[in-house]
Amino acid sequence: MDIHVSGQPALEADADHLLIFATKDDDLLERGALRRLNDALDGGLTPLVEAGELTGAVNQTVVIHTFGKTTAPRVVIAGLGPAEQLGLDEYRNAAATGARKARSLSTGTLAIEVDGEQCDLGMAEIAGAIAEGLDLGLYRFDRHRTPKQTPNDLTRVSLHSDDVAAAEAGIAEGRSLAGAANFARDLANEPSNLLTPTELAGRAEAWAGEHGVEIEIMDEAAAAELGMGSFLGVAKGSHQPAKFLILRHRGGADEPGLGYCGKGITFDTGGISIKPAANMEAMKQDMSGAAAVVASMGAIADLKLPINVTALAPCTENMPGGNAIKPGDLLTAMNGATIEVINTDAEGRLVLADALSYANHLGLSPLIDVATLTGAVAVALGDVATGVMANDDGLAAEVIEAGKRAGEKFWQLPMFDEYDEQIRSQVADVKNTGGRLAGAITAAKFLARFAGDTPWAHLDMAGTDDAAKTRGTQVKGASGVPVRSLVRFAAARAEASA
Ligand code: BES
Ligand code: MN
Ligand code: ZN
């Protein structure tokens, strides 16, 4: 889909659909594009407002046929919600919802009126948010469906703005962010027989090539050489060779830079501590953390962020093969720590133990790991917020702040010393489960041992990796969380060090 900017008013655009945004207030017809549309329709919108059919509420779309009074035969009006609460995410969601509505009606072109009259955001920001919302909201995963899910397509979109240069700059950024999130969605939605660790490595390599990111793919022998006994322990049950991905963006000074680690379990059966059958298919998405860190590197490179960032992704299946690790087994991680495996289904922390150890070996700082780590975090925060646990509250606050700009929600959970007792082992330095209570936190406590003294934040996205329904920028299926926050975090760090 092509998105371009035009200085011509959208009401005069030659398009199949027009998209206009409405804020929710009593005189919504008195301002901006909606006023101009109402004038063009000789006041035709007034009865709709009086009848309460057109209010500008969030998620509302109203379709108007204009019978020759505008160049486009049809107008979609999408609600932004109350003007006082208008921010970038409202634009993202309204663009997503409005464009999906237009697409549901027919294939064709869409002209969007972008006026900054409703709020004090800049044109680059608004146009960027709209483009980001369009690419996120129009996402579909239909590559394996014959025929395709919805035959309609939006082929060309024009954004009509009085500041073409600013709008163009914003659109490029918005599309990079959404493109990265959509790449992560494609990886996470892909069935695990098609997305093995080897295939994931291949797709990461192609992505890196397209975006000018360096990539190194470590095989099991190289990981063994480094002493990654914890990662390789998980890989033992599978016939698929494990891969450890390393992606580098060099944009900054001569220092190691940020380290992003992502859990890359291409399928989690639970291993010998096997999972029940119900919903096990969702475990094809247990590599969402790896997908997120790999994907974020594409946008970080597109935006030419003046900072060094390294993404590490330990990728393997977790299978109950004849050679699989068993409860009670002992593993030694790269940092020398010994681990008693109580439950082979707590495998994410095992692969991340070596990723964090390796990140420290490379001198990366700060570290952020991203993982579908515990069902417990979903019990605590649902599918709304990603859990943040950190050894540095300032870093946690920066992640939460990056999330606000991206439109992704995070919530911090505590890391009190008392929780350490739950993962004490009789036979090893640490055990890999901490019992039923505070499961998200004890998992983070396990990881903290491998982050060591390096400032580190852990993002548990087991509740947010998947969207249960389509709404705004979310499309049912893999969510692409927290790709855009990782990019915004790197951008904020780059700006702070400039
Ligand atoms: N991948 C799962 C966590 C998960 C659960 C992600 C549901 C998405 C949805 C993880 O590897 C796991 O199995 N965690 C266990 C840990 C337990 C054995 C300590 C869990 O949460 O039950
Ligand atoms: Mn598991
Ligand atoms: Zn898992």
> Which tens digit of pLDDT belongs to each residue from 45-76?
999 999 999 999 999 999 999 999 999 999 99
Pocket test for ligand 1, best of 280, 343, 345, 445 (most atoms within 8 A of CB): 345
Strand partners, 62: 77
The answer on pLDDT for 117 being more than 80 is no
Q: What is the pLDDT of residue 294?
A: 99
Report how far residue 216's alpha carbon sits from residue 218's, in angstroms, rounded to the nearest whole number. Answer: 6
User: Is the shortest distance between the CB of 433 and ligand 1 below 6 Å?
Assistant: yes
pLDDT, tens digit (0-9, with 9 covering 90-100), for 3-28: 999 999 999 999 999 999 999 998 99
pLDDT, tens digit (0-9, with 9 covering 90-100), for 97-111: 999 999 999 999 999
Q: What is the pLDDT of residue 119?
A: 75
Q: Which ranges of 363-438 would DSSP assign to H, the alpha helix?
A: 375-381, 393-406
Q: What is the mean pLDDT of residues 73-83?
A: 96
Known catalytic residues are 275, 349
The answer on pLDDT for 253 being more than 80 is yes
pLDDT, tens digit (0-9, with 9 covering 90-100), for 353-396: 999 999 999 999 999 999 999 999 999 999 999 999 999 999 99
Burial pattern 117-137, b for ≥16 Cβ within 10 A else e, equals: ebbebebbbbbbbbbbbbbbb
Q: What is the mean pLDDT of residues 185-192?
A: 99
249 Cα: distance to centroid of ligand 3 (angstroms): 28
User: Is the shortest distance between the CB of 345 and ligand 1 below 6 Å?
Assistant: yes
pLDDT, tens digit (0-9, with 9 covering 90-100), for 149-166: 668 999 999 999 999 999
Where residue 254 falls among pLDDT bands split at 50, 70, 90? confident
The encoded tokens of residue 355 equal: 């990723």
Which of 439, 432, 263, 454 shows the shortest CA–CA distance to 357? 454
Strand partners, 390: 457
pTM comes to 0.98
Surrounding residues of ion ligand 2, Cβ less than 5 A: 268, 345, 347
287 Cα: distance to centroid of ligand 1 (angstroms): 12
Which-ligand-closest: CA of 341? 1
Which of 285, 325, 216, 226 shows the shortest CA–CA distance to 466? 285
Q: Which of 67-71, 181-185, 460-464 has the lowest mean pLDDT?
A: 67-71
Q: Which ranges of 55-151 would DSSP assign to H, the alpha helix?
A: 88-105, 123-137
SS (HEC) of 145-175: CCCCCCCCCEEEEEEECCCHHHHHHHHHHHH
Q: What is the pLDDT of residue 118?
A: 65
Q: Which domains does the chain have, with CATH numbers?
A: 2-160 (3.40.220.10), 178-496 (3.40.630.10)
118 Cα: distance to centroid of ligand 1 (angstroms): 44
